[in-house]
Amino acid sequence: MTATALTITTDRRTDGTPVLAAVGEIDMSNADSFAAALADAVTGAGGTPLLVDLTAVEYLDSAGLATLFGHAEEIQLVVNPLLGPVLTISGLADLTSVRGL
Reported confidence tier of residue 87, pLDDT bands at 50, 70, 90: very high
Cβ count near 70 (within 10 Å): 14
CATH number of the structural domain spanning residue 83: 3.30.750.24
According to the model, what pLDDT value does residue 98 have? Answer: 96
User: Which of 44, 54, 35 lies closest to 11, judged by CA?
Assistant: 44
On whether residue 1 sits in a domain, the answer given is no
* Structural domain count of the chain: 1
Q: Domain limits at 59?
A: 6-99
Percent with pLDDT over 90 in the chain: 93
pLDDT value at residue 1:
55
Backbone angles phi, psi at 18, to 5 degrees: -75, 140
The reported pLDDT for the residue numbered 100 is: 83
Quote the CA–CA distance of 27 and 44 in Å, as a whole number: 24
